[in-house]
């Protein structure tokens, strides 16, 4: 026994069995990555082979072909003899109209509701809270359908239209307002309006510097309003009144003349406005609450009223918090306007990526152009808002 023990002591200990490569974490990870990569490449190759037939005829020459269909609402002259490029322009302008109206109206309503949520009046604050919580928890598409299918049909017929004087008429066939006709010298009014805006901005900057220097702020808001209103009016009379109004008139069973805003546009803008305003209201509320209460107390100690504290002290500081999320809401509103197809409003998706695509069959080109349009609108909106945000940010010393 002692001899066997001596031999066992001299021999090296037996090594454990080598594990399979699969049991090693590194090899297992490499295998999984290879499988995923092969699957992705396979899907791309399969999609490319299916699209190859379309890519052989890829091109945009079809934009010069005759469209051959009418569009119910357009901001420029168009008829069925127009080209697909004309259809694209009409749809784009209709989309821009909805986006511009929605952004302006939703911003105004959102700021009003956001400030109302912080009101010391219990009824006002609770009504604003109820509006926000109810509207934003219902899908936007449902609001669009509600206004178009349930609200618009309840409006009166043309002979019983809801009117504001002799220039605005609301019926179940749309909203009828006066239409502007521009004369040859109307450019003077436009130049005066632009100059008035520049003057109002310069006045605001001067008033701010004056306040910092003397502690007193001139009435820059009243001066700005007087410039924006008064200067174009003076130019209007100086140019010989080159701008005239065409009023809508009831003839038969409908209104003729003026500018008719069809029910689809009215319902879409209304739905986008009240829906997006709820999110803007929450952004405004959180931005105001993010400003130190000491700022408001200091402004109150200087004798400023509640409205002056909000306009001159609180909201300018809150804008640094409000602008970034507000930009996202503007982008969402512009993209959500594509839901217009649900009520047949002729935006760029409905007439170009819808009717034109069904007639011409250029899926890759048409959908690519439509996607590029929304991408461009989003990038331009983000650029403008980021420039404004950079301007109002605090500068570190």
**For 151-210, what is each residue's pLDDT tens digit?**
888 888 877 787 777 778 888 887 887 777 777 777 888 888 899 889 888 888 888 888
Q: Would residue 144 count as lying in a domain?
A: yes
Count of structural domains within the chain: 1
Identify whether 119 is part of a domain: yes
131 assigned to some structural domain:
yes
In a domain, 179, yes or no: no
Q: How many whole angstroms from its chain centre is CA 98? A: 9
Examine residue 115 and state whether it is found in any structural domain, yes or no.
yes
Helix (H, G, I), strand (E, B) or coil at 162: strand
For the entire predicted model, the pTM comes to 0.75
Output DSSP code: residue 66: B
Backbone φ, ψ for residue 222 (5° rounding): -65, -40
Domain that includes residue 303, residue range = 87-154+264-392
- For the stretch 221-250, pLDDT in tens is 788 888 888 888 888 888 777 777 777 877
Range of weakest confidence among 91-105, 135-149, 187-201, 245-259: 245-259
- Whether 340 is covered by a domain: the verdict is yes
Q: 45 by DSSP, 3-state: which?
A: helix
277 occurs within a structural domain:
yes
pLDDT, mean over the chain: 82
User: What Cα–Cα distance (Å) separates residue 348 from each residue in 188, 344, 351?
Assistant: 33, 11, 6
pLDDT in tens, 302-340: 777 777 777 777 778 888 888 889 999 999 999 999 998
CATH number of the domain at 367, please.
1.10.3720.10
CB 158 within 8 A of CB 171: yes
**Is 248 inside any structural domain?**
no
Q: Which of 179, 352, 97, 147 is nearest to 263 (CA)?
A: 147
């Amino acid at each position: 026994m002692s001899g066997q023990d001596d031999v066992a002591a001299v021999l090296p200990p037996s090594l454990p069995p080598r594990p399979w490569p699969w049991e090693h974490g590194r090899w297992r990870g490499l295998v999984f990555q290879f499988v995923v990569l092969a699957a992705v490449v396979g899907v791309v190759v399969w999609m490319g082979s299916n699209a190859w037939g379309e890519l052989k005829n890829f091109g945009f020459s079809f934009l010069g072909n005759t469209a051959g269909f009418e569009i119910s609402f357009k901001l420029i002259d168009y008829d069925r003899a127009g080209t697909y490029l004309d259809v694209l322009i009409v749809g784009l302008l209709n989309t821009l109209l909805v986006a511009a109206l929605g952004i302006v109206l939703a911003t105004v309503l959102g700021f009003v509701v956001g400030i109302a949520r912080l009101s010391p009046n219990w009824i006002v604050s609770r009504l604003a809270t109820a509006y926000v919580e109810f509207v934003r928890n219902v899908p936007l598409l449902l609001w669009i359908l509600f206004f178009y299918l349930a609200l618009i049909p309840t409006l009166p017929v043309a002979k019983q239209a809801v009117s504001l004087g002799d220039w605005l008429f609301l019926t179940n066939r749309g909203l009828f307002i006066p239409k502007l006709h521009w004369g040859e010298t109307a450019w003077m009014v436009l130049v005066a309006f632009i100059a008035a805006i520049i003057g109002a901005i310069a006045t605001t900057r001067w008033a701010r510097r004056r306040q910092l220097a003397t502690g007193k702020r001139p009435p820059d808001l009243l001066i700005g309003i007087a410039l924006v209103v008064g200067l174009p009016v003076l130019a209007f009379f100086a140019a010989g009144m080159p701008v005239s109004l065409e009023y809508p008139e009831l003839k038969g069973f409908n209104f003729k003349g003026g500018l008719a805003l069809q029910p689809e546009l009215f319902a879409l803008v209304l739905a986008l406005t009240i829906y997006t305003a709820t999110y803007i209201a929450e952004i405004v509320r959180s931005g105001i609450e993010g400003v130190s209460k000491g700022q408001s107390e200091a402004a109150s100690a200087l004798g400023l009223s509640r409205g002056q504290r909000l306009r001159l002290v609180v909201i300018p500081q809150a804008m640094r918090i409000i602008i970034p999320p507000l930009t996202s809401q503007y982008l969402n509103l512009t993209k959500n306007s594509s839901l217009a197809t649900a009520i047949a409003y002729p935006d760029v998706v409905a007439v170009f990526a819808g009717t034109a695509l069904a007639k011409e069959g250029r899926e890759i080109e048409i959908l690519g152009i439509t996607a590029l349009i929304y991408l461009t609108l989003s990038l331009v909106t983000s650029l403008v808002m980021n420039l404004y945000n950079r301007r109002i940010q605090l500068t570190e010393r």
